[in-house]
Chain A
């Protein structure tokens, strides 16, 4: 124990420092900036104001927020519909194949998601691979307009986020006690009843976790909308980036960031509450 105490202290210290320096401090800076006025050369002027938040209530920006919520929600739903059966099938595979299949789910992470999004452009553009394939097969007479559409944005986000849905679902489905399913069959339940009354409620924590892990990043993924959606879709992520990099209105960009952070915080809090309720009285 004596040897382990300093190690524990060092580990906690490093993590604590890391979180303070690279998570808490920047967020505090953003929160402070959002309450200041736009300045000249220094980007912010030290005058307190709520003006930035008032501007966010503008219909234009509310529309941006709603668009972002809609895209993230649609992506999340698609991820869930694809990811749930996928994760379920993974758990049904022979045990010695599962690590390899999980690895295949994770492999895309080894490449930057920006690079992967560019790859999607090559696939989807007017003379891209997908159109070429469909033309060669004779299924279409002229190239489809795939790139710079909302479905393209959703496809790009789906591709980037699907593993975040599959992994938590796999974790809960893997843990699911097969004997409970046998018990339900023994009591006369058919497939639909077993899924609805046993499997779904018992995997709900994984579903919620997966949805959060796709929905929250989905809200801020500006580069996917940029590259695959063209200039047509303006999302919260794009808005923030533009305020900082193009419009040079740091306080307003900061206010939008704070709004996004608060929104995500609320969702996480809701998740925490639901998880606590689900755990009450559960078997150890």
Chain B
């Protein structure tokens, strides 16, 4: 028995001539919360539909719990789906919706009642058992959809953008609840979303997808801090991109020219002298020095710049900074109670400043067109 509950090997899928999945391979551990993250049309929902069995793969293998899924119809798979639109049965009560799966499997009478009510209690809907879906709010319908799926005790639960129809506050609350539910039940969750924040905050591992391929597969931290390529860096969170050229190489350290400054940076990639690179810096890693701060030699390695826009966001102040070289950086400054200098974030538009970033927190990637 392998440690993987789900394995995709070189799976491909096309609709007419349009390739939706290109040789996707993916392994999921039992009990893991895995998120498929990507823009719409990247193929993430297609993976769920293949796993659920609604559509056959064109090529490759899909294995769930050690069993080849090729000829197994959806009704015989040990997976259940929470649909994006919920797809609740409108003519059945909440109780009957949740009881649908167990009934099909022959659970009856008191055992059925107990199981359904236990599940409804888990999603805090025990008082709504007699209602029809049309009489519930969006958040409650969402819970019914989850209850209807988990009551079957599936090996794997597939969730297709289940929170996208909810408002911001409710979505936040449901994220937390889903995560807790997953821990409690120990079921493997495969969660599809285009919301990177949702992906990072909920998942054990994230697969970032684009145009039918997996661009990067790793923990939220790896994805955010060590993006594998420019697509991942840009899609997951905001990032500043500076173009540079390697002027001296002593792996793992390189001297990189960024406009008129040469700085020494570290990278796990191997570059040669003359290679063009992207230096990527997260907004929260950018540091801003005011004109009167720092000594002359300190300033020699800083980038002179002008504040272009100031956006007060409550817990942070976001600045758009135009470097003298022309690049615009976005930065996020946190109010810091321990640092009196940083407490004072009253930047003015047009103010001259100097910027750098927390060294070694940048990411250097080979040049991509």
Contact = CB atoms under 8 A, between A and B. Distances in A.
Given A179-B83, A180-B89, A183-B81, A281 B134 contact: yes
A177 interface: yes
Contacts of B53: 185
A122 interface: no
B235 interface: no
Contacts of B76: 188
Contacts of B87: 177, 179-180, 182-183
A278 to B, nearest CB: 7
A282 interface: yes
Contacts of B105: 188
Contacts of A201: 91
Interface string A257-284: 0000000000000000000001011111
B74 A281 contact: no
Contacts of A6: none
Interface residues of B, number: 29
Interface residues of A, number: 23
A202 interface: yes
A189 B134 contact: no
A187 interface: yes
B75 A190 contact: yes
A127 interface: no
B75 A188 contact: yes
Nearest to A198: B89
Interface string B167-185: 0000000000000000000
Interface string B64-97: 0000000001111001110101011111000000
B80 A187 contact: yes
B104 A186 contact: no
Interface string A169-192: 000000001011011111111100
A49 interface: no
A184 B132 contact: no
A185 B74 contact: yes
Nearest to B100: A187
Given A185-B73, A187-B101, A187-B152, 8 more contacts: A177-B87, A180-B90, A182-B81, A183-B83, A183-B89, A184-B100, A189-B75, A281-B135
22 contacts: A180-B89, A182-B81, A182-B83, A182-B87, A183-B83, A186-B74, A186-B80, A187-B104, A188-B76, A188-B152, A189-B104, A202-B90, A202-B91, A278-B91, A281-B131, A281-B133, A281-B134, A282-B90, A282-B91, A283-B88, A283-B132, A284-B134
Interface of A: 177, 179-180, 182-190, 193, 197-198, 201-202, 278, 280-284
